[in-house]
């Protein structure tokens, strides 16, 4: 009996250890899953060495046609103006990391200090649908702060928040090309306010106002007519 009891205890202990190990592994997965899903600077492919690649689409958002269009546009910008603009998408960032902080870190990682002057980097965080931009000191002559913020927060984000990712990147690249080439700034997208269809009925407020007007007119008429009728009745012989 003692041997049986010891065997049972050993079996229960092994099962308990297996359960504890499985629980710890599950907790580890829960803890590390958000970290694994977030993008770090090292996850973004460094495209600075490729003269034909100006988009690092780490989030895999853009269609091949849109990517080619943006690459062609930004390549022309670099050839014509000497300013190099790169666009980056990321799936999401670690907790507490803002798109601007990530853009600054990526900018510093890609471009040593002596090569930062004519560079610009535009970043989209898909998870938060937020954007940021970092512009080198030399490039700020062509892309001042107000234009930079408009490119990131309007030209890029307005279509993005409507679900038009390809349009967002193509139109933003086209605006960059126009401005840096010295042409008129086409400006950010126009946000159209949906117009309500014309109605052929009165609202309850309009109906109430109309009814109130009728009542007032009737009361005024009565206030005028009744005294006159009364007066004439008393004047009759």
CATH, residue 90:
3.10.310.50
**Does residue 20 share a domain with residue 136?**
no
**Does residue 95 share a domain with residue 30?**
no
**Does residue 155 share a domain with residue 52?**
yes
Query: Could you give the CA distance from residue 219 to residue 206 in angstroms, rounded to a whole number?
Result: 20
Residue 130 maps to a domain = yes
What is the count of structural domains for the chain?
Answer: 2
**Does residue 49 share a domain with residue 155?**
yes
Range of the domain at 96: 41-180
**Does residue 58 share a domain with residue 32?**
no
The helix, strand and coil proportions of the chain, stated in percent and rounded to the nearest 5, come to: 60, 10, 30
Q: Which of 160, 180, 200 is the last residue of a domain?
A: 180
Average pLDDT for 143-164: 96
Residue 233 maps to a domain = no
Summarize pLDDT for 27-85 with one digit per residue, the tens. 454 444 444 468 899 899 999 999 999 999 999 999 999 999 999 999 999 999 999 99
So what's the pLDDT on residue 62?
97
Query: Could you give the CA distance from residue 151 to residue 121 in angstroms, rounded to a whole number?
Result: 11
**Predicted confidence (pLDDT) at residue 221 exceeds the cutoff of 90:** no
Banded pLDDT at 187 (limits 50, 70, 90): very high
Q: Are 129 and 99 in contact (CB under 8 A)?
A: no
Look at phi and psi of residue 210 and say left if phi exceeds 0, alpha if psi is from -120 to 50, else beta. alpha
Q: Which helix (H) or strand (E) holds 128?
A: none
Tokens 């780490």 locate to: 58
């Amino acid at each position: 009996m003692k041997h049986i009891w010891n065997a049972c205890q050993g079996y229960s202990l092994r099962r308990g250890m297996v359960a504890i190990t499985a629980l710890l592994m599950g907790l580890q997965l829960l803890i590390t899953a958000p970290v694994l899903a977030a993008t770090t600077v090292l996850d973004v492919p460094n495209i600075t060495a490729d003269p034909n690649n100006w988009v690092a689409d780490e989030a895999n958002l853009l269609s091949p046609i849109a990517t080619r269009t943006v690459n062609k546009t930004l390549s022309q910008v670099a050839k014509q103006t000497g300013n190099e603009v790169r666009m980056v998408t990321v799936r999401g960032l670690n907790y507490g990391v803002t798109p601007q902080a990530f853009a600054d870190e990526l900018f510093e990682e890609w471009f040593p200090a002596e090569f930062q002057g004519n560079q610009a980097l535009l970043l989209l965080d898909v998870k938060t649908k937020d954007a940021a931009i970092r512009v080198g000191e030399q490039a700020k002559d062509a892309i001042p702060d107000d234009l930079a913020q408009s490119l990131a927060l309007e030209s890029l984000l307005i279509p993005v928040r409507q679900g038009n990712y390809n349009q967002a990147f193509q139109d933003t690249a086209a605006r960059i090309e126009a401005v840096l080439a010295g042409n008129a700034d086409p400006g950010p997208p126009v946000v159209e306010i949906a117009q309500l269809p014309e109605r052929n009925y009165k609202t309850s407020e309009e109906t109430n106002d109309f009814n109130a007007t009728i009542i007032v007119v009737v009361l005024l008429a009565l206030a005028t007519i009744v005294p006159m009728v009364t007066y004439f009745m008393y004047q009759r012989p």
